[in-house]
């Protein structure tokens, strides 16, 4: 079973950070569907199909009139539900004059959008990343475009042994690749856990400079992946020998929550959202700047590698033979869960404007 390329519909995906959505129209393609985002005057996030039903002009190239979008080509005007409320030169509005509106939820700094059958959208199904806007945590974040299928990023993030080789000098040390992993798959809840606990490891610059630890460390990496979109890495570092207390409190540990949202743009490109939240040095702007730049560098190292890998795979004949070893256990599990999600979402067709749309 190869990495996934096709999309799992009837799922929530991160479309943007909340602060990206303003009173300015923002275009973004999600699972091959062109959407436009904006906020109403009351602050609600709206997501509509980006193509005017009339001649398909991008609504993102248009403008807002109050809470309505006015097409920049002929003036077709849509309210936040996607219903056309005005057309030029006539009073009768064709019955089919509307664009699809998408369910959206703003949560944990993200704007989530539902891609699939609207009546199946349940906000309770959205996985959480509460550190990103939690008052006791400080976050840095960004988004990088990736010219590769999203499945390559899933592979990448589920196997952190690559940190040793691709991210040496930033987050990788020899112990990462050398330490065995434990993998759990909760088939019912659709969650994959991959744990790697290092008892005595070198402290990479990412943690040495941010925590101030100068010696070797205990380093725990606990992945919690909610396919297809949300990836959480619960990271704990502490000086060697410093463990959580028996009651579960952890005054000697430094905690970093690394969050990725893996959102397919097309079958060959991906929105790579990343965030790093910490519970130490929370007011230290220098630490924030360092972690932001360091993590962005690491993400861009992945982007460069995965872009090259995508080029290689695109040029290969179908049916090439992969080789998987122990480090791939979590990634293989993710492929299987996502394949099941793709199958479950089949039949949920991309949102389309009515094909009979006409100007009357």
- Which residues lie closer than 8 Å to 179 by C-beta, 6 or more apart? 196, 197, 198, 201
Residue 280 binding another protein, by CB under 8 A: yes
Q: Which of 349, 292, 263, 354 is nearest to 9 (CA)?
A: 349
Cβ 219 vs Cβ 202: under 8 Å: no
Q: Going residue by residue from 139 to 178, which x/- string records binding to another protein, judged by CB under 8 A?
A: ----------------------------------------
Residue 336 binding another protein, by CB under 8 A: yes
| Shortest separation between residue 313's beta carbon and another protein, angstroms | 18
Map residue 328 onto helix, strand or coil. helix
Binding piece for another protein, criterion CB under 8 A, among 25-33, 245-253, 287-295, 348-356: 245-253
Binding piece for another protein, criterion CB under 8 A, among 41-49, 197-205, 263-271, 321-329: 321-329
Residue 229 binding another protein, by CB under 8 A: no
H or E element: which one contains 311? helix 285-315
Cβ 98 vs Cβ 77: under 8 Å: no
Q: Is the previous residue joined to 184 through a cis bond, with omega within 30 degrees of 0?
A: no
Residue 199 binding another protein, by CB under 8 A: no
Among 249, 321, 355, 356, indicate the residue that binds another protein (CB under 8 A): 249
Distance CA 84, CA 76 (A): 7
Among 23, 95, 182, 352, indicate the residue that binds another protein (CB under 8 A): 182
Among 189, 214, 321, 355, indicate the residue that binds another protein (CB under 8 A): 189
Residues of span 294-313 touching another protein by CB under 8 A: none
Q: What dihedral angle (degrees, nearest 10) is formed by the CA atoms of 246, 248, 250, 256?
A: 140
Residue 184 binding another protein, by CB under 8 A: yes
Q: Which of 189, 251, 193 is nearest to 221 (CA)?
A: 193
Distance CA 108, CA 319 (A): 41
Two tokens, residue 40: 């109403």
Among 22, 286, 324, 344, indicate the residue that binds another protein (CB under 8 A): 324
In the complex with another protein, which residue's Cβ is closer, 98 or 236?
236
Among 42, 312, 315, 325, indicate the residue that binds another protein (CB under 8 A): 325
Strands 84-86 and 77-78: antiparallel
In the complex with another protein, which residue's Cβ is closer, 67 or 279?
279
Q: Which residues bind another protein (CB under 8 A)?
A: 128, 130-131, 134, 136-137, 180-189, 191, 222, 224, 234, 249-255, 279-280, 324-326, 328-329, 332-333, 336
């Amino acid at each position: 079973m190869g990495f996934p390329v096709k999309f799992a519909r009837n799922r929530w995906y991160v479309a943007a950070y909340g602060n990206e959505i303003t009173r300015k129209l923002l275009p973004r393609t999600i699972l091959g569907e062109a959407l436009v985002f904006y906020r109403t005057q009351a602050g609600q996030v709206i997501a509509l199909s980006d193509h005017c039903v009339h001649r398909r002009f991008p609504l993102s190239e248009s403008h807002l009139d109050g809470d309505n979008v006015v097409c920049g080509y002929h003036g077709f005007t849509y309210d936040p539900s996607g219903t056309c409320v005005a057309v030029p030169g006539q009073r009768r509005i064709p019955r089919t004059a509307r664009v699809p509106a998408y369910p959206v939820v703003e949560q944990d700094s993200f704007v989530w959008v539902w891609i699939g059958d609207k009546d199946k959208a349940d906000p309770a199904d959205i996985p959480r990343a509460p550190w990103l806007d939690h008052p006791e945590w400080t976050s840095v974040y960004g988004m990088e475009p990736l010219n590769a299928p999203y499945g390559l990023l899933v592979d990448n993030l589920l196997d952190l042994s690559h940190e040793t080789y691709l991210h040496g000098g930033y987050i990788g040390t020899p112990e990462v690749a050398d330490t065995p992993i434990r993998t759990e798959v909760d088939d019912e809840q659709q969650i994959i856990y991959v744990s790697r606990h290092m008892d005595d490891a070198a402290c990479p610059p990412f943690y040495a400079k941010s925590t101030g630890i100068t010696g070797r460390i205990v380093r725990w990496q606990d992945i919690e992946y909610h396919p297809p979109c949300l990836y959480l890495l619960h990271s704990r570092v502490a000086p060697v020998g410093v463990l959580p207390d028996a009651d579960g409190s952890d005054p000697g540990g430094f905690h970093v929550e690394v969050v990725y949202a893996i959102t397919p743009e097309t079958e060959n490109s991906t929105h790579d959202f990343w965030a790093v939240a910490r519970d130490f040095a929370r007011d230290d702007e220098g630490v924030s700047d360092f972690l932001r730049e360091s993590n962005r560098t690491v993400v861009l190292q992945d982007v460069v590698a995965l872009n090259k890998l995508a080029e290689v795979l695109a040029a290969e004949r179908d049916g090439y033979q992969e080789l998987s070893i122990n480090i791939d256990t979590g990634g293989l599990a993710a492929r299987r869960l996502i394949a099941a999600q793709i199958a479950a979402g089949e039949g949920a067709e991309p949102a389309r404007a009515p094909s009979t749309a006409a100007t009357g």
